[in-house]
Amino acid sequence: MANYWLVKSEPSVYSIDDLQRDGRTHWDGVRNYQARNIMRDKMKKGDLVLFYHSNANPPGVVGMAKVVRTGYPDHTARDPQSNYYDPKSTEEDPRWYMVDIEFVEKFPRLVSLPEIKDHPQLQEMVLVRRSRLSVQPVRPHEFETIVSLARKS
DNA sequence: GCCAACGTTGGC
DNA sequence: GCCAACGTTGGC
């Protein structure tokens, strides 16, 4: 049974169009323990991921991706040149993890945060309840609701 | 650019 | 282990 997730990215840093162009990417740079635990322990190959644009106008869900590699050490934590460098990360104890995701689709329509907040079926979403987590679980009915909103013209 | 929410750090 | 200070996220 596949799980569902939502990942956030600022489109000025890495957008759904970047993912479409690249086809596949490492989801690096996550420096929050709860998000790390999800990537290290919970995300499985084939899990579907909603791709969310934060700090955007308007913010919202813009597409879908798929997990193609389970958690492994985030090498950017050990690269002093990287913005995501963390001197406390070592080879024995990498501290930070990432997964690889693959582009699935860009939705024909953005499902905006206000729309999500107004939708009766989506009130319990982590996105609504606790806005700051950048990798978060999504319930199956929430996933389906958002995808159907995204395909509705 | 402001600022609320909330996560992390570090002194004690 | 508490908690104040500080840093970051992300909506607006």
Using C1' positions and the CA of A117, the closest nucleotide is C11
Q: What is the pLDDT of residues A61-79, one digit of tens each?
A: 999 999 999 999 998 888 8
Query: How many other C-beta atoms can be found within 10 angstroms of the C-beta atom of residue A21?
Result: 10
Query: How many other C-beta atoms can be found within 10 angstroms of the C-beta atom of residue A145?
Result: 19
Query: How many other C-beta atoms can be found within 10 angstroms of the C-beta atom of residue A46?
Result: 10
DSSP state of A56: S
Per-residue tokens: A116:
């999500």
- Cα–Cα distance, A126 to A117 (Å, whole number): 11
Note the pTM of the prediction, 2 decimals.
0.93
Nearest in space to A133 (alpha carbons), one of A6, A4, A3, A41: A6
Is A85 within 7 A of strand B by CB distance? Answer: no
pLDDT at A85: 84
Using CB atoms within 10 A of its CB, is residue A124 exposed (0-12), middle (13-18) or buried (19+)?
Answer: exposed
- Which band of pLDDT confidence, cut at 50, 70 and 90, is reported for residue A41? very high
pLDDT at A35: 93
Distances (CA, A) of A109 to A21, A61, A62, A149: 19, 9, 7, 8
Q: Where are the domains of chain A?
A: 4-151
Nucleotides of C under 7 A from a protein CB: 8-12
| Statement: residue A153 has pLDDT above 90 | no
- Which band of pLDDT confidence, cut at 50, 70 and 90, is reported for residue A132? confident
| Statement: residue A17 has pLDDT above 80 | yes
| Multiple choice CATH, A4-151, 3.10.590.10, 1.10.10.10, 3.40.50.300, 2.30.290.10 | 3.10.590.10
Please report, rounded to a whole number, the percentage of residues in chain A having pLDDT higher than 70.
99
Q: How far is the CA of A105 from the C1' of C10 (A)?
A: 25
- Which band of pLDDT confidence, cut at 50, 70 and 90, is reported for residue A142? very high
- Which band of pLDDT confidence, cut at 50, 70 and 90, is reported for residue A101? very high
Residues with CB under 7 A from strand C: A 8, 10, 31, 54-56, 59, 113-114, 131-134
The H helix count followed by the E strand count for chain A is 5, 6
